[in-house]
A and B are shown apart, each in its own frame.
Chain A
Amino acid sequence: MTELEMSLLDLLQEDCRLPLEKLAVMTGVSIEECAAAIERLEKDRVILRYAPTINWDKTGRERVEAMIEVRVMPQRDMGFDAVAKRVYHFPEVRSVYLMSGGYDLLVLVETKTLRELAMFVSEKLSPLEAVTGTATSFVLKRYKEDGVVFEETPSDRRLVVSP
């Protein structure tokens, strides 16, 4: 990864709406070079998408989230990757991670209702042949996500003008 690419990733992760001209100015390259670098990052799937961080609690939308610890027995022709693939194709699944420690996959699930979530675990996840056990924990409150604190905190404690 070049220095330019790393700089662009830092900037875009903070604010993916920064216009190309500003990105070029800040990284000290031409707009064309900047555009080419971003295109490369997209093509190489380093940048997967441009999405905001949303505080859904403020929207009133019905939403249940859970983190499910999944124990897996890898089978012949069916390693962790293959199991993960089966799991991440379910539309309810937001994220899947392979973990070290007491369980194997951590699955973040989002549904509209508690019932849907229960159905997901009992009807979709648990029946998978490789899955030997699950432990579901519900998200009660979100404090920080992707480096963003949800609570409004004074962003700048400095004197407004100083020498």
Chain B
Amino acid sequence: MNYERYLNPAIAAVPPSGIRRFFDLASTMREVISLGVGEPDFVTPYHIRNAAINSILNGETSYTANRGLPELRKEFSLYLKDRFGLDYDPAEEIVVTVGASEAIDIALRAIVSAGDEVLVPEPSYVSYSPSVVFAGGRPVGIRTLEENRFRLKAEDVRAAITPRTKALILPYPNNPTGAVMEREDLLAIAEVVRETGILVLSDEIYAELTYGGLRHTSFATLPGMWDYTLTFNCMSKAFAMTGWRVGCLCGPAQLVSVMNKIHQYAILCAPRQGQAAAVEALRAGRENGYEDVVTMRASYDRRRRLLVDGFNRMGLHCFEPLGTFYAFPSIRSTGLTSEEFCQRLLEEKHVACVPGTAFAPCGEGHIRCSYATGIDKLNIALQRMEEFIRTL
């Protein structure tokens, strides 16, 4: 039976993620070294796992409040204040979500009406544009360029704004480019926000993973910007807790309460054990200076240097990524397209990367390589890539 007539054509028309094809291909191969993984290679620290086990043994198996466990909202509030100077009231301005992914989805669904435009810097994480479409809106890409270190330029934002523009997604530190936005870069964006009154959806899930002495600046902490900003964060990247699915959506109470309405009807609450684990992660972090995060960041930083240096040596120009755990080298010198490069590298050398085009057409000429993989494997991957390039 053909079910097409049942499907919403707007949703059915959204193409599947470009990453899928590489996943399918790589999954059939043995001995693949994958630089294509978008999550930490650390297992969640033991004390956090143990807290979740204890929560199960204690019989904590019921729903939580829709907005999440009160103690977790309090911990998120303290954490965001402590680390990024953000002020969010745990009672009214925070909802615990199923990862930041849900937060983005419900935020968009709450603000976007049919035909509204949402600005999405490109290349960026694969789900923003589809989520805008699912909400009935129209994603408007804003291309970021390597010559600007993939930072979002205020003039490009200004130029993209129309009377239908509702919001700007601000995904920094950025997956896939590894780009960061420093305070001055953000102040320029804030000026545009002040002039035009658009909302900013600031996805800060990689905020802890910045390097070279940089500290992440949260957009909502800029003068006057709190009122215009929704901040998304989560446990996944900084605490190596991707599978637990716990994130948070923070913003002005009036907005957050409408988003919580969707959350309440669609999700009810984030998973209980994930919340218990998150409480432990944030509480312990507050008490020990976030030592898990510090250790993991130091480890990523070494691997970041190794990978970037390796690419530059083999002639793949790579700008220095100052955030996340991705490098985004240019493969233009090889004459191949991103897709061809990744496919042949996988087939011939069993190294998996993700073509830049999976993140937007303007990602052409680049590949995303995750350095959240052991040093031994990174070294082998670099060696195989160098061999591959020599055969071209």
Which A residues have a C-beta under 8 Å from some C-beta of B?
7, 10-11, 14-15, 18, 22, 25-28, 155-156, 158-163
**When the two chains form the complex, which single residue of A26, A28, A158, A161 contacts B19, counting CB atoms closer than 8 Å?**
A161
Contact A161 B22 (CB under 8 A): yes
Contact A11 B127 (CB under 8 A): no
Contact B375 A15 (CB under 8 A): yes
Interface stretch (choices B1-9, B31-39, B223-231, B280-288): B31-39
Query: With A10-B298, A26-B306, A161-B26 given, can you name 10 additional A-B contacts, CB distance below 8 Å?
Result: A7-B298, A11-B375, A15-B375, A27-B305, A156-B41, A159-B37, A160-B26, A161-B36, A162-B39, A163-B17
Which residues of the other chain, A, contact B379 by a CB distance below 8 angstroms?
22
Indicate if B234 sits at the interface (CB-CB under 8 A): no
**When the two chains form the complex, which single residue of B23, B299, B375 contacts A161, counting CB atoms closer than 8 Å?**
B23
Which residues of the other chain, B, contact A159 by a CB distance below 8 angstroms?
23, 37
Choose among B19, B39, B298, B302 the residue with the greatest number of A CB atoms under 10 Å from its CB.
B302
**30 A–B contact pairs at CB < 8 A?**
A10-B298, A10-B299, A11-B302, A15-B375, A15-B376, A22-B306, A22-B379, A25-B305, A25-B306, A26-B302, A26-B303, A26-B306, A27-B302, A27-B305, A28-B305, A155-B374, A158-B41, A159-B37, A160-B23, A160-B32, A160-B36, A161-B19, A161-B23, A161-B26, A161-B34, A161-B36, A162-B19, A162-B36, A163-B126, A163-B175
User: Taking the nearest CB of chain B, how far is it from the CB of A108, in angstroms?
Assistant: 26
Q: Nearest chain-B residue to A157 (Cβ)? A: B43
Tell me the dominant secondary structure on chain A's binding face. Answer: loop
The verdict on A162 contacting B305 (CB below 8 Å), with A15-B375, A15-B376 known, is: no
Q: Nearest chain-A residue to B382 (Cβ)? A: A22
Which residues of the other chain, A, contact B27 by a CB distance below 8 angstroms?
160
User: Taking the nearest CB of chain A, how far is it from the CB of B102, in angstroms?
Assistant: 15
Q: How far is the CA of A26 from the CA of B309 in the complex (A)?
A: 9
Which residues of the other chain, A, contact B32 by a CB distance below 8 angstroms?
160
Contact B127 A163 (CB under 8 A): yes
The verdict on A14 contacting B375 (CB below 8 Å), with A26-B302, A160-B27, A162-B19 known, is: yes
Q: Nearest chain-A residue to B38 (Cβ)? A: A162
Going nearest first, the 9 A-B pairs with the smallest beta carbon separation are A161-B36, A26-B302, A161-B23, A25-B309, A162-B38, A160-B26, A163-B126, A160-B34, A161-B22
Indicate if B270 sits at the interface (CB-CB under 8 A): no
Which residues of the other chain, A, contact B34 by a CB distance below 8 angstroms?
160-161
User: Taking the nearest CB of chain A, how far is it from the CB of B49, in angstroms?
Assistant: 13
User: Taking the nearest CB of chain B, how far is it from the CB of A73, in angstroms?
Assistant: 40
Which residues of the other chain, A, contact B374 by a CB distance below 8 angstroms?
155
Which parts of B253-298 form the interface with A (CB within 8 Å)?
A: 298
The verdict on A160 contacting B306 (CB below 8 Å), with A7-B298, A14-B375, A18-B375 known, is: no
Which residues of the other chain, B, contact A25 by a CB distance below 8 angstroms?
305-306, 309
Choose among A156, A160, A162, A163 the residue with the greatest number of B CB atoms under 10 Å from its CB.
A163
Q: How far is the CA of A155 from the CA of B33 in the complex (A)?
A: 12
User: Taking the nearest CB of chain B, how far is it from the CB of A125, in angstroms?
Assistant: 37
Q: How far is the CA of A159 from the CA of B299 in the complex (A)?
A: 21
User: Taking the nearest CB of chain B, how far is it from the CB of A36, in angstroms?
Assistant: 19
Q: How far is the CA of A27 from the CA of B379 in the complex (A)?
A: 15
Q: How far is the CA of A97 from the CA of B218 in the complex (A)?
A: 50
User: Taking the nearest CB of chain B, how far is it from the CB of A78, in angstroms?
Assistant: 42
Q: Nearest chain-A residue to B304 (Cβ)? A: A26
Q: How far is the CA of A160 from the CA of B19 in the complex (A)?
A: 11
User: Taking the nearest CB of chain A, how far is it from the CB of B248, in angstroms?
Assistant: 20
Indicate if B98 sits at the interface (CB-CB under 8 A): no
Which residues of the other chain, B, contact A155 by a CB distance below 8 angstroms?
374
Taken residue by residue from 218 to 253, chain B's Cβ proximity to chain A (1 for < 8 Å, 0 otherwise) reads as 000000000000000000000000000000000000
Indicate if B354 sits at the interface (CB-CB under 8 A): yes
Which residues of the other chain, A, contact B298 by a CB distance below 8 angstroms?
7, 10
The verdict on A158 contacting B305 (CB below 8 Å), with A7-B298, A22-B379, A163-B127 known, is: no
Indicate if B125 sits at the interface (CB-CB under 8 A): yes
Contact A161 B309 (CB under 8 A): no
Indicate if B352 sits at the interface (CB-CB under 8 A): yes
Contact A158 B37 (CB under 8 A): yes
**When the two chains form the complex, which single residue of B126, B309, B352 contacts A160, counting CB atoms closer than 8 Å?**
B352
User: Taking the nearest CB of chain A, how far is it from the CB of B230, in angstroms?
Assistant: 21
Contact B23 A162 (CB under 8 A): yes
User: Taking the nearest CB of chain A, how far is it from the CB of B60, in angstroms?
Assistant: 25
User: Taking the nearest CB of chain B, how far is it from the CB of A29, in angstroms?
Assistant: 10
